[in-house]
Structure 1
Amino acid sequence: MLSTVLLRQLTDQVQELHTTAESQLQPLPLPVLNFKPTPGSWSALECLEHLNRYSRFYNAELTTALHAQPQTATPHEVGFSWLGRKSYDTVRPDNGKKHRTITHMNPAGSQLGTEALHEFLQHQKCLLEMLAAAQGTNLNRKAVRIEFFKLLKLRVGEALQFVVAHEQRHLQQALRAAHQATTAPILVV
């Protein structure tokens, strides 16, 4: 895929993530945002906190990668390494297979307020700025360390695609949890 096309698609997807979280989650009361559909599942806010933890790492990595090279690249075909393709396939929203997250990225049991939602929205704004800054960057350059094994690196383009797909996947999960909270039967004692 051409770099300009990929960056436009990712920008559109991040704008949609921001708009969806703002319009569908932000108006909800805290008990709905903290509702867990099952004892072992995450609430909407836990889904967002999970994404925040990843964003804290990957936003810094991407910023460093984008500022480490001159903005001279012309539109080019974006390739994927085996690791990049595998990482993306694992988190893409239409992959229904559940995966365990690493312990320090698991927000289960966290006491969360709406600040998790506000932080998520801020990360989306930051990601939009990075996507704009990536226009003149060689997206095929391996420059983004992987969070759980920092010796391995993703290409800039595949890291951007991984981050956005991961956010889409867990925002969908957050929306499902919030929806189940509003449709759950009320127990009257």
Structure 2
Amino acid sequence: MATIQHYELIEQLENRIERHLEEAIHSLQNLPEKVLLQPASNGGWSIAQCLEHLNTYGDYYLPQIKSGLEKAQKSSPSTHFQSSWLGAYFIKMMEPETGKKKYKASKGHIPAPNLDAYATVARFIQQQEELLSYVKQAKSVNLNNIQIPISITRLIRLKLGDVFQFMIAHDERHLQQAFRNLPQGALPTPSVSKQR
């Protein structure tokens, strides 16, 4: 399994979340409601639905991460983080570059079409800020030792370092999907267009 230095991983995670925040604030927050709620041309999710799908995952994982960090306050970080085989599999599955297969959203994570678009974007931004704060807190804990139950079954637990990577890859995947719905002329920020 892939091994990475603890602080290098934290820095990578922070950078990706900060980019997602910048994208949401500068390119999505001020879009007209009609654009946010417009279904994709292929019949897929609207921008708001992509974000609401991510919000449902945040609703589950953020409290789990908070609890894991609170229990581990007295631990000290290891020099390296090593993904479990299952964690590495889930991350690879979600990363847009390596996970090309489409997956059906599981029950409880299928967004309704009639959303409050602005509230959905605001909640996504708030959750990204919360996730960033937890990654910053994780600088001082052992990412190998904290185990988080996954959303599909609490019987399976992943290392916190894998959960962070999975969540951020999942965010990236659906932000790319959301940005494909932007009308021509509604250009995202330079950092977004550079990544896509």
Between the aligned partners of 1:106 and 1:167, the Cα distance in structure 2 is 15
The range that moved more, 11-20 or 171-180, is 171-180
The letter for the 2-side match of 1:144 is I
Between the aligned partners of 1:169 and 1:142, the Cα distance in structure 2 is 25
Unpaired stretches in structure 2, ≥5 consecutive residues: 188-196
Give a deviation string over 1:80-135, Cα, whole Å, max 9, x none.
11210111111112222211110210114343321000000000110111011101
Deviation (angstroms), 1:36 = 1.1
Tell me the equivalent position of 2:177.
173
Q: Is the 8 A contact 1:43 1:178 kept in 2?
A: no
1:148 aligns with 2:163: no
Between the aligned partners of 2:15 and 2:49, the Cα distance in structure 1 is 25
The range that moved more, 101-110 or 162-171, is 101-110
Identity of aligned residues (%): 31
The RMSD of aligned alpha carbons is: 1.8
* Secondary structure of 1:158 counterpart: helix
For 1:121-132, list aligned pairs within 5 A. Answer: 121-132=125-136
Unpaired stretches in structure 1, ≥5 consecutive residues: 184-189
Give a deviation string over 1:159-186, Cα, whole Å, max 9, x none.
0111111111111111111236969xxx
1:16 aligns with 2:19: yes
Deviation (angstroms), 1:141 = 1.6
The partner residue of 2:168 within 161, 164, 168 is: 164
Between the aligned partners of 2:130 and 2:158, the Cα distance in structure 1 is 20
The letter for the 2-side match of 1:57 is Y
Q: Is the 8 A contact 2:72 2:141 kept in 1?
A: yes
For 1:47-62, list aligned pairs within 5 A. Answer: 47-62=50-65
Alignment length (residue pairs): 183
